Each structure stands twice: as structure tokens, then as C-alpha cells.
Chains A and B, each alone.
Chain A
């Protein structure tokens, strides 16, 4: 058993204990991996009704400058996204790239009128904050938010549940952000998440996090969901886990994240390049890449986990790829995976083989998401 005492705790630590969560170390925090319901039922509940996740381990940062354009312009030197063109009250997916065009982290950023609100991964947050400070300051201040929890409410019943606390949330659509009063606290709400389901992410003052969570959990359709199910939900949804599916050695084009790079930042765009590693990223876009991230459906029942080598034939030959995330997909009711394969093998329905315990088992390149997304656009 790991020493959980040495780990950081989220503002919801007492609630997790009261709910009977199994806690594990994750990115320096003690986090709930599952509740008594178990990973499989938690996953299915989230797809059928609504699940509440504690994601307070993630980093929350506010970027402020003389005005929002100053902040957006500065932030564009760090990410290949259209930040200046992001409307007030909207959020966007982003990437921090490095000089080699690799991915340092993935993130969400929102235009909240007079500032940008950025959410980064727990394991990368120290480096991300240092990066932002070194590049953006002093023109833009980097304020790390330490006094707010972050929770996610995900699933088809999320809107009905959250609207009971404030009907205004029903008017939001995918990637909208707004200040919303919930259970007596001013929350920063976005209509987004990382499960492939409709839902919300809610930044709530730490002292109000438990009351808000309990108000939601008191509703019939809401169950607490741990990191175990969060992982299988995002995998079925075809969403990358930083550190598994993308990392410093991955070009965003290989990762299939070209959609996240808006036209204005691409070759020929008004603000072409100007982010770390732009020549590598735009070069990959122009010339193509040797490998691509694909969805994978093992044809048997055996899960193919991260690290599983992929081959073009049942016998012989070198590996042509590798699984980067894999496991059991409760909604698919079978094994699901994603990984990288040589570009010539990346076409949907290509039949390949994954080597499990020395045996090559068939798998198919599959369209992502592996389970249809359910966003409210």
C-alpha cells in the first residue's frame, strides 16, 4: 500500500472517505480510483445518467494583462491555437508545444472577458506554470488558483441535474463558459468534459466544494465516479491521456490533433506559426507523418494494454506500432485501445495483430470515437 499520507489532498478528501472511495496516488495527489459501485458500473452509470468526478488535482490558472487581446496575443506564442479569435464566454482545447514540435501538455483555455482561464494536467502543472511565467510575465500575470476545487458532472442527465441548482446552465452549449451561482457559491462553469458525454466542469471555491458535490450526489441520477472509469470513458471517447497517448516526443499531427490547430495559425493563415516548434508542426502538416494515432478494437476478448506491440501479420516482421492506452470498454462491452501505427496501416478497418503474452491476436483499426460522442452543440 502506498503511503497516501505523503500526498496532497483535494478539498473533497473527506467526502471521498465518507463515500467509501478507494484512494490511490495520482500525480502527487490522493485521488479516488473507484467507489463501492466499481469501475464498470460507474462507467455505465455515467453514460446512462450522470457522474460526478473530482478533478481538483488539475491546475487552474488565470492569465491577465492590460486587456484580453494582450493576453491572447501572448498566449499564442505558447500554443498553436487561435486564441485572439476565441469569443468571450467560449473555451477551446489547446496544446503547449516545444521547440521540436513535441507536446509538453494539453489543456483547456477560456476567454472570460478580461482574462484567460487555463486548466492544465496535474502531472504537468508545475512545468506549465513555470513555462507560462517565463514567457508571459511581466506583460501578462500568471495567477495560480489554489483556493478552488474542480469537479466535473458528466452524462446525459448532467443538464437536468445541474439545472435543478441553477436553470441558467441549460442555456449553455458545448464549450460555453459562464459564472453561475450554484449551492450558494459563484462557480466558473464550462459545458465540457473529458468523457465523450455532455456535461459540465465546475470550478468552485474550496469551502463550497463539498456542499455542492453533496447537493448533486443527493440527486437520484448522480453517482460519484473515480479515475478508473474516467480513464475508460475517455478512452472510448477517443480522447488522449497526456503521458500515455501524447507526450514530448509526439507531434500533434501524428496524434491526430490537427483539428485543434485553427486555420489562422496554419501555413498561409494570418498568424501562421509563432509558437514553439512551429516549423516541425507545420512541416508535418505539409509533408505528412510516418505514424498516426488510431482507434483499435481487439477482435477477441483479451484486453490489449499500453505497451502492446502491433504487427502487420500473424507471424514474423517488425512491430509496426504500439498501443498507448488500452483496456476494457464497458460501453463497447469488449476490449478497446488506441495507439500509433505506421501511416500506411492507419486506414479504418485495417486488420492488424497485437501481441499479448507472446501470442498475436487480431485487432482492427477503428473509427474514433469508439463510442459516439454526446455533446450538446
Chain B
């Protein structure tokens, strides 16, 4: 698993990269009450806003961590946004991207580096 400085995690699953937010991010955001997912088939570029999540406090964007095409979204989060707090690195993934350039993954932190990053 890889981690971005925006507190996203990335997990390779076959041809796809699964994207979610870290437990640290979920805790900082507080109770998640709304998730707006991208559409399957959308072409995204790295650092583009693709997803909106709202906690009781505020709205936040999730950025595309890599270039590619959205191949699947986790519709279950629309009805149960609270899953993001309950199981952020398990069931509560947000979307899958078919990577245009898998090499972009190399820039991101591993778990040890991320844990150090959030200190």
C-alpha cells in the first residue's frame, strides 16, 4: 500500500488502483455525512479533484493520485457515508483507477514513511 501527503491510500488490485483515505484522515475529518463519487469512465489527471466528502464540519476534496480512468466507484458510501469512519482502509474505498502510468505510484510513501509523516 502507498500513501499520499493528502492522506489517501492506494492499493494495487490487478490492473486497478484502489483509492481511499487513511484512518488518520477519517479521524481528523470527524463524522462523514456525505460522499459525492466520480462517474465510472471519467478520465482523470493527477491532483484533479474527483470526489467530495463532507463531514459534519466541512467539505473536503479527494484528489486523483494518478492519471487514468475511473473503472469502479463504491456506491455503498452514498447511502452509508459513515463507513468511511468505521472502516477507512477496508470497506470504505472510494474509487478504482486504471493507471495510465503505474510509475506515478513510485513517488508515494510506504506505510512506515506515512506514519512518520503524520507523526
CB < 8 Å: which of B54, B56, B57, B85 contacts A302? B54
> Given A302-B54, A303-B54, A327-B56, A38 and B33 touching (CB < 8 A)?
no
- Within A216-269, the residues touching B (CB, 8 Å) are 228, 232
Chain A residues whose C-beta falls within 8 Å of the C-beta of B52 in the assembled complex: 357
B59 within 8 A of A: yes
B78 within 8 A of A: yes
Evaluate contact between A228 and B56: CB separation under 8 angstroms. Answer: yes
A41 closest partner in B (C-beta) = B31
B36 closest partner in A (C-beta) = A302
Chain A residues whose C-beta falls within 8 Å of the C-beta of B85 in the assembled complex: 38
A38, B36: Cα distance in complex, Å: 22
Q: Which interface class (under 10, 10 to 19, 20 to 34, 35 or more) fits B?
A: 10 to 19
Chain A residue total in the interface (Cβ 8 A): 15
Interface centre among B31, B52, B81 (most CB of A within 10 A): B31
Q: How far is the CB of A250 from chain B (nearest CB, A)?
A: 25
Evaluate contact between A40 and B31: CB separation under 8 angstroms. Answer: yes
Evaluate contact between A303 and B31: CB separation under 8 angstroms. Answer: no
Q: How far is the CB of B54 from chain A (nearest CB, A)?
A: 5
Evaluate contact between B56 and A301: CB separation under 8 angstroms. Answer: no
A353 within 8 A of B: no
Interface centre among B30, B33, B82, B85 (most CB of A within 10 A): B33
Evaluate contact between B54 and A328: CB separation under 8 angstroms. Answer: yes
Evaluate contact between B30 and A301: CB separation under 8 angstroms. Answer: no
A302, B54: Cα distance in complex, Å: 8
A40, B33: Cα distance in complex, Å: 9
A121 within 8 A of B: no
B34 within 8 A of A: yes
A330, B59: Cα distance in complex, Å: 17
CB < 8 Å: which of A39, A302, A305 contacts B31? A39
Chain A 29-45, CB-CB to B under 8 Å as 1, else 0, gives: 00000100011100000
Chain B residues whose C-beta falls within 8 Å of the C-beta of A38 in the assembled complex: 30-31, 85
> Given A39-B56, A232-B56, A301-B78, A328 and B33 touching (CB < 8 A)?
yes
A303, B81: Cα distance in complex, Å: 13
- Within A325-339, the residues touching B (CB, 8 Å) are 327-328, 330, 335
Chain B 68-106, CB-CB to A under 8 Å as 1, else 0, gives: 000000000010011001000000000000000000000
Interface residues of chain B, those whose CB is within 8 Å of chain A, are: 30-31, 33-34, 36, 52, 54, 56-59, 78, 81-82, 85
Interchain residue pairs with CB less than 8 A apart (22): A38-B30, A39-B56, A39-B57, A40-B33, A228-B56, A301-B33, A301-B34, A301-B78, A302-B34, A302-B54, A303-B33, A303-B34, A303-B54, A305-B59, A327-B56, A328-B31, A328-B33, A328-B34, A328-B56, A335-B33, A335-B34, A357-B52
Interface residues of chain A, those whose CB is within 8 Å of chain B, are: 34, 38-40, 228, 232, 301-303, 305, 327-328, 330, 335, 357
